């Protein structure tokens, strides 16, 4: 099985302005065509992390969702990020993965950030998602999900890489960095964390710290403070060798978890 090339996009986000954000990403992604297997955008990449969904929430037939599909096809890659969605009268922080063939896979953020009232406005997800790219199985999560290891538990090596998209404030950046590394080590998998930078409409500052960590816990790179695109190659050899030589997954506590079967 071949290696996987992943590009993470650390960006500022125009507050509650989908059109401006899509234009920004059109410009920043233009040169990636044919150069990467997966492009990952931050949480709520078209609006920023807003608690005012009424004026800007997107439907599943909206321009933002169409943009995900058409851009994935144009770049001949998979494109992933979360979007503020209204669906059947409910609001969701919805992770979307669009393939170059137009296929769209989704899951909703499970753990809602009560400290800002996300749980009063949005509906939490009930399903895990597995996205398969070139034989690699990726399990995406959204921001606050990172704090809950049971939801990320990788029983029987169900996935090869965990993806966390976020709007994670700078004042808790040490938590972000520590938890991402922990998730890689405990789950014997690659971990990809994609955060935003800049200041949002609530005055919260973001330092980025987007990163890729290998299954041994080594950091391939971290992007601090500035908008940037960086590409990493995930090594199948490193993943398979580490799982073979250090098979801690065989001793996992299978009987204490009651997680849903992932959607594929």
The H-or-E segment that residue 238 falls in is helix 236-245
Q: What span, in angstroms and rounded, lies between the C-alpha atoms of 189 and 164?
A: 13
43 contact partners, CB below 8 Å, separation of at least 6? 49, 81, 82, 93, 142, 143, 165, 166, 167, 196
Contact 264/130 with Cβ under 8 angstroms? yes
Q: Write out the catalytic residue numbers.
A: 43, 109, 143
- H-assigned helices in 76-224: 118-121, 149-152, 173-187
Q: What span, in angstroms and rounded, lies between the C-alpha atoms of 241 and 194?
A: 26
Q: Which residue has the tokens 């410009």?
A: 27
Q: What span, in angstroms and rounded, lies between the C-alpha atoms of 63 and 25?
A: 14
């Amino acid at each position: 099985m071949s290696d996987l090339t992943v590009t993470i996009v650390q960006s500022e986000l125009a507050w509650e302005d989908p059109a401006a954000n899509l234009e920004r990403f059109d410009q920043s992604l233009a040169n990636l065509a044919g150069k990467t297997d997966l492009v990952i955008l931050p949480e709520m990449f078209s609006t920023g992390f807003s608690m005012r969904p009424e004026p800007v929430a997107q439907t599943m037939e909206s321009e933002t969702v169409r943009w995900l599909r058409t851009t994935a096809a144009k770049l001949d890659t998979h494109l992933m990020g979360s979007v503020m969605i209204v669906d059947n009268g409910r609001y969701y922080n919805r992770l979307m993965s669009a393939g170059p063939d137009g296929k769209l896979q989704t899951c909703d953020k499970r753990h809602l950030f009560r400290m800002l009232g996300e749980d009063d406005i949005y509906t939490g997800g009930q399903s895990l998602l597995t996205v398969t790219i070139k034989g690699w199985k990726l399990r995406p999560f959204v921001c606050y999900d990172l704090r809950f290891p049971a939801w990320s538990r990788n029983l029987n090596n169900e996935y090869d890489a965990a993806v966390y998209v976020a709007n994670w404030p700078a004042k808790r950046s040490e938590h972000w960095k520590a938890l991402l590394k922990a998730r890689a080590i405990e789950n014997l998998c690659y971990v990809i964390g994609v955060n935003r930078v800049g200041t949002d409409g609530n005055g919260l500052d973001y330092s980025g710290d987007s990163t890729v960590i290998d299954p041994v816990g080594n950091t391939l790179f971290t992007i601090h403070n500035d908008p940037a695109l960086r590409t990493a190659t995930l090594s199948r050899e490193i993943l398979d060798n580490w799982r073979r030589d250090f098979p801690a997954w065989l001793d996992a506590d299978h009987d204490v978890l009651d997680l849903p079967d992932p959607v594929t």
